[in-house]
Structure formats: C-alpha cells, structure tokens
Amino acid sequence: MLAKKTVILISCIALSVGAFATSETTPEKAAASGSKAASADFRKDYHRPAEIPYPEDNQFSEAKANLGKMLFFDPRLSKENNISCGSCHNPSFSWEDAQATSVGTPMTRLGRHTPTILNLAWGEVYFWDGRAESMEEQALGPIGAGGEMAQDMEELLIELKEISYYTGAFEEAFPGEGLNRANIGKAIATYERTVVSSIAPFDRWVEGEGGAISDAAKRGFTLFNTKAKCSSCHEGWNFTDWGFHDVGIPGNDEGRYGVIKIDVLKHAFKTPGLRNIVERAPYMHDGSLTTLAQVVDHYDGGFVKRPSLSADIVPLGLSADEKADLVAFLETLSSNDTPVTYPKLPQ
C-alpha cells in the first residue's frame, strides 16, 4: 500500500523550480471548436493544485531537500563516479536528457527514454513500467541497477561516511538515524518532490486571462478534450492519469507486463505528464518520435494494431489544421521555470 500523504504549501518550499477528470460536456456540445462555452466546461478540470503532497513517513524539511539536491547531482553515487541522477534528469531539458534512450555508467545504451521527474510528487507508481511504488524506492533504483549507476550500496555508504559534510547533513536531516540506505532514498525523493513546473500560459488562460494563449491553441485544447481523445489518458492539471496503456509503439518491450503478467498490459507504459513537453523531445518510452507533430501523427493513425492496444487508440481523421492546433495547444504548457543552481559538491 502507498503511504498516506500529507501536504505542504508550494510557496513555502525554497527549492521549488517551478480519479479521472470528468466533464458533463459531450463531444456534440463541444463541436464548435474553440467556443467559449466548450473551453469553460473543460477548463474547470485543469486548475493547478495549491500544495505539494508529502508522505507521512517522509515529511518535508529544508535540511532534507538540501541534502537530497546535493546527492542528486553527486556522481559519486555511481560506480565509476562519472554520472549522477542529474546526468539523465537534466534540468536544462526539463529533467530529461534529450537522447532517445539513456546511457549508463559503463557508457552502455539503455533500452528506454529517460522519463522526467517534473511534478512526480503527485505520482502513484514510478518508472515507465511502474515497478516502484514510492519515490523513495524510485530514487534508489537506478543507483544500484547494473546497467545504470551500478553502485554497490555498502561501498557507497562507506564512501559517503568519509565525507564530513554528508555525515553532518544526514544527522541534521534525520536526527538519531543519520546516513543509511533508506535515508539516501528519502533525501533524494524529498528534493525531487520540489521539482514542480511553474505557471504556464495555459494556466493563466485557465484562470481567466483570455489572451494568454492563441485562438489556435484554444481550438487545440477543445480538440484535445473531444475529437483527438487525448484527455482519455492525459487528464488533469499535469495531463496524466498515471495509468498504463499500449499506445501502439512498435517494438518488443512489453512494459508493464514485465511487472504484472496480465495480457492487456503487454506493451503498456505509464502515461507521461505533458507539462513543458516542448523541452522534452524526443518522445515516447523509446524516444522514437522526435517532434510533437510526429506524436500527433502517431495517434492520428500511425500506431501498431495488436490485441493489447488500448481501446482509446483509434484512427482520428484529423485534418492538417487540426493537427497544427493541437501542437499549438501543447506549446502553451511550457513554463518559465527558475534556473537550477548546481551545488558545490563536498570533498
């Protein structure tokens, strides 16, 4: 079971960088794409939350977040001391790495695209296949994974205990517990939860600023919620249902099926959120699509048909203008986040 969560106001976090939605509006009522009535009906489902959730067993503290940030950018967490969490989750690329698939510490190419950590505080399960049930588990996973950071945890603990900053910082963040495996995961997860996208033009429009986005983007938003069927999976303020779907990407990777042996989950991957999506190319779990236009073309009818394909993935019959409007809408989801300062690592 996931830990019950409590919350803290976003505005109180110094490090911040920034159930399925429902609607009584039918596609028939929204047929007049971009109409004020249709937009208003859909916009109510996309208001940003006021708080960041934290689990009861890992409440926020500034000491934890500061420590987690230092660990996140410290390459000593990898076996070869050459990559950090931030190597793949690079803030310059909206916490991805701009490569089709990731590279591990032995400089080996991995099989999946790096997912962003942006807005993961609201997540339910983690990694493309959902194999981690908490952010704390997710934070530790790559450190010990052979193809990723490949670090021996016992050796890492010895190495970190030889650095006076870390022994003191762990004691401050976790009084009476200090430096151990679980607290490494808790510190990194605490920092990752502060990685939140800032206000985007779309948010200003949702709150009533009519000119915040273009007419094309407004039409795209209505399409997103009706004919294009995007909101079937990309719902709510972060544009994800946190579920798993086979969206018809070619390949042999069976995704969620590798964790839960249910046929419908073959080739199913977690729905990514769409915040700052322009900055996160390439796309999909394998990084096979390089532009948002290609992504729209894929969903319009370029998908692979197979038994596990999601029932929501059907030919859409979108016109060239409708595709352009969808991309225009997606571009409004990018926010001007506060630049991340890299910490000076302790010796």
Each residue's pLDDT tens digit, 277-315: 999 999 999 999 999 999 999 999 999 999 999 999 999
Q: Which residues are catalytic?
A: 148
Q: What is the pLDDT of residue 37?
A: 52
- What average pLDDT does the chain have? 90
Bigger pLDDT: 155 vs 10:
155
Quote the pLDDT of residue 251: 96
pLDDT at 56 over 80: yes
d(CA 43, CA 94): 24
Torsion angles phi and psi, residue 223, rounded to 5: -60, -40
35 pLDDT more than 50: no
Structure tokens at 278: 């322009």
Q: State pLDDT tens for residues 104-147.
A: 887 889 999 999 999 999 999 999 999 999 999 999 999 999 88
Q: Which residue type sits at 334?
A: S
From CA 316, how far away is CA 300, in angstroms rounded? 5
DSSP one-letter string for 112-142: SPPPP-TTGGG-SSBSTT--BSSHHHHHHHH
**Is the Cβ–Cβ distance between 144 and 154 less than 8 Å?**
no
Contact 181, 77 (CB under 8 A): no
Can you give the pLDDT at residue 39? Answer: 62
The yes-or-no verdict on residue 340 having pLDDT over 70 is yes
Of 320, 43, 86, give the one whose Cα is nearest residue 203.
43
Domains observed in the chain: 26-48+199-331 (1.10.760.10), 53-193 (1.10.760.10)
Assessment of whether the complete model's pTM goes beyond 0.75 = yes
Report d(CA 148, CA 142) in Å as an integer: 6
Query: How many other CB atoms are found less than 10 A from the CB of residue 155?
Result: 10
In the chain, % of residues over pLDDT 90: 86
Neighbours of 106 (CB within 10 A): 14
pLDDT at 31 over 90: no
pLDDT (average), residues 182-192: 98
What does the alpha-carbon distance between residue 100 and residue 110 come to, in Å, rounded to a whole number?
10
